[in-house]
Amino acid sequence: MNDAFGRPQSVIVLGGSSDIARAVVRRLAGARCKTVVLAGRDPERLSSAAKEALDAGASLAPVVLFDAHDVAQADLTVSNCFAAAEGPVDLVIVAVGDLGSPDSDERDPTRTADLITVGFTWPASALTAIAATLREQGHGRIVVLSSVAGVRVRRSNFAYGSAKAGLDGFSIGLAESLRGSGVIVQVVRPGFVRTKMTEGLKPAPFSTGPEEVADAIIRGIETDAQVVWSPGLLRWIFMIMRNLPQSIWRKLPG
């Protein structure tokens, strides 16, 4: 159960080996979280993330494998995760996405479909299943990793960005639909994060690291904020960015 500060005792992470997810799990397991279900594609990385969770204080850290290209299985993956938790689940983190490599992918229709599937279609289907289970439970929190790339889509990663834009909008709508159900949905919009996913790319202004994003997420959980920006300043910057004429937006670095 969540306590008065929103600290969960059990968590499911979809995309459990991502750097941000691991940093969040370390913090949660150091507080109240005893059960950590880690779901993802790479068994090796997942088991090292599970070990890390156990070291940080969790006492149960099962691993569930899935492939986010397989939309038809999203529902089943979610129910496997809930079963692995062996009890009520207080928090579900959705950290699934594929940045792709803009140069080679943007002219490839199949890769484009993949990026949208992994970044939007699969997560949206999974979120629908998660919401139904949490609704029955009468409580729970969903944290969805979105990105500023989806707040205003830009040239450099428009497939990824538009998938995030879709997921972000979907999540906010889902949050509304769950009002009064005891289930909260929060959207996290980090700026450019220096992680394994962005290795080799030139950091955009206001870049941040997984540890900073994890801190922002933990604070967001405490405050129930609907949208969590990281760094926080981006919230104000994007108020302006969103409305810049395309001709200026195009010229901004990043």
Q: Residue 62 corresponds to which tokens in the numbers above?
A: 């099962």
For the chain, what is the largest distance between any 2 Cα atoms, rounded to a whole number of angstroms?
A: 54
Q: 42, 67, 86, 176: which one contacts other proteins (CB under 8 A)?
A: 86
231 binds other proteins (CB under 8 A): no
Q: 45, 139, 152, 194: which one contacts other proteins (CB under 8 A)?
A: 139
Distance between first and last Cα of the chain: 41
**126-158 burial code (b ≥16 CB/10 A, e <16):** bbebbbebbeebeebbbbbbbbbbbbebbeebb
Per the CB < 8 A criterion, the answer to whether 9 and 1 are in contact is yes
132 binds other proteins (CB under 8 A): no
Binding characters for other proteins, 190-229, by CB under 8 A (x = yes): -----------------------------x--xxx-----
Number of Cβ within 10 Å of residue 4's Cβ equals 6
Positions marked catalytic: 160
254 binds other proteins (CB under 8 A): no
Per the CB < 8 A criterion, the answer to whether 27 and 218 are in contact is yes
For residue 13, what is the enclosing H or E element?
strand 10-14
Binding characters for other proteins, 36-75, by CB under 8 A (x = yes): ----------------------------------------
Q: 102, 169, 182, 231: which one contacts other proteins (CB under 8 A)?
A: 182
In sequence order, what E strands does 41-139 have? 63-65, 91-94
Residues 22-41 that bind other proteins (CB under 8 A): 31-32, 34-35
Q: Which residues bind other proteins (CB under 8 A)?
A: 1-7, 9-10, 31-32, 34-35, 86-88, 135-139, 180-182, 219, 222-224
